[in-house]
Amino acid sequence: MGNSLMDTYVQVFANRSVWMESAAIEQLHTTARNLQGIRAAVGLPDLHPGRGYPVGAAFFSTGRFYPALVGGDIGCGMALHATSLRVHKTSPSKLEKALGVIDGPLTEALLEEVDMAQLQALAQRCGVATAEALQQSLGTIGGGNHFAELQAVDTLYEEGALDKKCVHLMVHSGSRGLGGTILREHVERFNHDGLAAATPEARAYWQQHEAAIAYAQLNRSMIARRMARALRMELSLVLDISHNHVQRHEWRGESGFLHRKGATPADEGLVVIPGSRGDYSYLVRPASERDEALHSLAHGAGRKWARSDCVGRLKPRFSLADLQQTRFDSAVVCADRELIYEEAPQAYKDVDGVIASLQEAGLLTLVARLRPLLTYKRGAMQCC
């Protein structure tokens, strides 16, 4: 039983310059066809194949929603902070030295800043983790495409949008183990069938999902605060936006559910679209009135190569030292030899093509371009 092709809107937003895997397009169509109640599926230009469902996509459904479509990293997103550090007073090597290792659990001093009652309440609401477990991974970046990056404002397209003198901090992380546990327990009970709206099961998932969203946001905030402490800088939050979630949503007169799987909301104000760790990131203004891309934008450059192909493709050409610096002379801290190959700029699409695609479709205007000074992926303690 599938959805009628006539009633299902499927659209990919990418110009000819963007690397696009046919497997990802197939996943988009298969998902739109096979999950009951899907009315619209949109591929953003960072679209790439995922485990069954594509990443860089948004799906609108009525009557049911699909936790498996959100995936394991519920609440994953981007935060951007302005800092009190002056660009001209610092350098990648200074930053790297001052930062040290920030992978492990938070220290006592930082934990004092955490609202333990909030953590307790989150643990209670999600029902699958203790407050102690949540505290253990709080303030940790994680693996995969997650990172924290200190950046300089390279170009301002909107005058006064950011202070060019200030270093900015971008954090990409999520709910760590919590979201994965919620998804695993859900799939054990319901497979990939999704949940009918307004049932007790739907309400139960919704509560866990809300807890994971809040935990992911708190996690990003604590990552920023531990970096602020190490670098003796003040923070001022510019934005914090999740790109993995499901929301109640109205689309073209129907009310239903909007799933974003690596898709940034276009209806929550300014957002950031990061490039690879050796590329620019963009602060953009979404065209919030436009509905043809399901009120969503790309959440990054998008992978070009599968993780499993990266070491084989890049090791003959690039040493570890090559990958620890970039064309901008920024530093990449990543003590995990496999991860640094998987996350090499070559493994990602060109972010300028991704941005241009969205710009040409009238889905955004540029606000600022940010250039990496130091990207923190994973320090020495955790690896091997």
Partner DNA sequence: ATGTCC
Question: What tokens appear for 371 in the block?
Answer: 């250039």
Which residues in 340-354 are b (16+ Cβ under 10 Å) and which e?
bbbbbbebbbbbbbb
Pattern 32-61, binding to DNA, x per CB under 7 A? -------------------x---x------
Considering only the stretches 71-79, 84-92, 159-167, 270-278, report the one whose residues sit in contact with DNA under the rule CB under 7 A: 71-79
| Beta-carbon contacts of residue 188 (< 8 Å; ≥ 6 apart) | none
User: Is 172 in the active site?
Assistant: no
| Length of the chain counted residue by residue | 384
| Shortest distance (Å) from residue 57 CB to DNA | 13
CA distances (Å), 82 to each of 51, 103, 142, 271, in order?
35, 22, 22, 14
The nearer residue to DNA, 142 or 275, going by C-beta atoms, is 142
Residue type, 11: Q
The nearer residue to DNA, 12 or 134, going by C-beta atoms, is 134
Judged by CB under 7 A, the chain residues 177 through 216 that form the site for DNA are 177, 180-181
Residue 324: exposed, middle, or buried by beta-carbon count in 10 A (0-12, 13-18, 19+)?
A: middle
The nearer residue to DNA, 173 or 281, going by C-beta atoms, is 173
Catalytic residue, candidates 48, 243, 249, 299: 299
The nearer residue to DNA, 145 or 357, going by C-beta atoms, is 145
Pattern 164-183, binding to DNA, x per CB under 7 A? ---------xx-xx--xx--
| Shortest distance (Å) from residue 237 CB to DNA | 21
* CA 214/CA 232 separation, integer angstroms: 26
The nearer residue to DNA, 91 or 346, going by C-beta atoms, is 346
Residue 312 half-sphere exposure, CB side, CA atoms within 13 Å?
5
Binding of residue 146 to DNA (CB under 7 A): yes
User: Position of tokens 């994965």?
Assistant: 180
Work out whether the CA dihedral 12, 17, 19, 23 comes out positive or negative. Answer: positive
Q: Which of 94, 144, 157, 290 is the binder for DNA (CB under 7 A)?
A: 144
Binding of residue 142 to DNA (CB under 7 A): yes
Q: Which of 49, 56, 72, 275 is the binder for DNA (CB under 7 A)?
A: 72
Q: By rule CB under 7 A, what count of residues binds DNA?
A: 20
Pairing of strands 77-86, 55-61: unpaired
- CA-nearest of 254, 268, 344, 359 to 44 is 359
Q: Judge contact between 20 and 30, C-beta under 8 A.
A: no
Binding of residue 145 to DNA (CB under 7 A): yes
The nearer residue to DNA, 129 or 197, going by C-beta atoms, is 129
Residues annotated as catalytic (active site), given as ranges: 299
Interaction site with DNA (CB under 7 A): 51, 55, 72-73, 76, 129, 133, 136-137, 142-146, 173-174, 176-177, 180-181
